[in-house]
Chains A and B, each alone.
Chain A
Amino acid sequence: DIQMTQSPSSLSASVGDRVTITCRASQNIRTYLNWYQQKPGTAPQVLIYAASTLQIGVPSRFSGSGSGTDFTLTISSLQPEDFATYYCQQSYNNPTFGGGTKVDIK
């Protein structure tokens, strides 16, 4: 299996902050990297696919970058509804997910 490692595992931030989450793959996955947001008690929802393409309906404050083994999810100005857990997922081979990054209120 391709191992996905996210950092940090949690962070505290304030509304308006710029937030960056990183995801590293154990091997080259080109740009087959997707990001999801999950709020407590609900299913994950895709934010970004193919490393940098914003899913329809997702606010433009979310952006993704990277290729190969290193990827980044950035929230340019954190909003109250963005406090959630974020997961990366590789779709290069037998999908696997990162351990998640919980974003909570400072």
Chain B
Amino acid sequence: QLQLQESGPGLVKPSETLSLTCTVSGGSISDSFYYWGWIRQPPGQRLDWIGSISYRGNTDLKPSLKSRVSMSVDTSKNQVSLNLSSVTAADTAVYYCVRHLNSLAWFDLWGQGTLVTVSS
């Protein structure tokens, strides 16, 4: 059974870069049918899609975050990574790793989420 697990620092200082990794277990990230994405949820707020990446490295990023976001895939480790630069308190959120079939599809598999707090 395919599972997603987020990992990374729970505390990041303002102006620094938030870095998270999603490890896929029980299956291959190279399954060409799927995209792998990141969604965040600030406390008490709505879900916010950040972007998605295919196993080939093709990315689709939220326009308002594009200048601060980078994503990568490491097929040898079955991992997807997220970097969000120049963070502020507004980036404090639970970050979820997700899977979806294509850019028009629903998010059918979610990781458990990891809370990242931006604070000095």
Instruction: List chain A positions with a Cβ less than 8 A from chain B.
Output: 1, 32, 34, 36, 42-46, 49-50, 55, 87, 89, 91-92, 94-100
Number of A-B contacts (CB under 8 A): 49
B111 contacts chain A at the CB level, 8 A cutoff: yes
- Kindly provide the distance from the CB of A99 to the nearest chain B CB, expressed in whole angstroms: 5
Interface size on B, residues (CB 8 A): 20
Task: Identify 29 residue pairs between A and B in the complex whose beta-carbon atoms are under 8 Å apart, listed by A's number.
Answer: A1-B64, A34-B106, A34-B107, A36-B107, A43-B110, A43-B111, A43-B112, A43-B113, A44-B47, A44-B107, A46-B107, A46-B108, A49-B105, A49-B108, A50-B106, A55-B108, A87-B47, A89-B47, A89-B106, A91-B100, A91-B103, A91-B104, A91-B106, A95-B107, A97-B46, A97-B47, A97-B48, A98-B46, A99-B46
Whole-angstrom CA separation of A101 from B47 in the bound complex: 13
Instruction: List chain B positions with a Cβ less than 8 A from chain A.
Output: 46-49, 60, 62-64, 96, 100, 103-108, 110-113
Which of A42, A55, A91 neighbours the largest number of chain B CB atoms within 10 Å of its CB? A91
Contact A95 B110 (CB under 8 A): no
- Kindly provide the distance from the CB of A3 to the nearest chain B CB, expressed in whole angstroms: 11
Whole-angstrom CA separation of A92 from B64 in the bound complex: 17
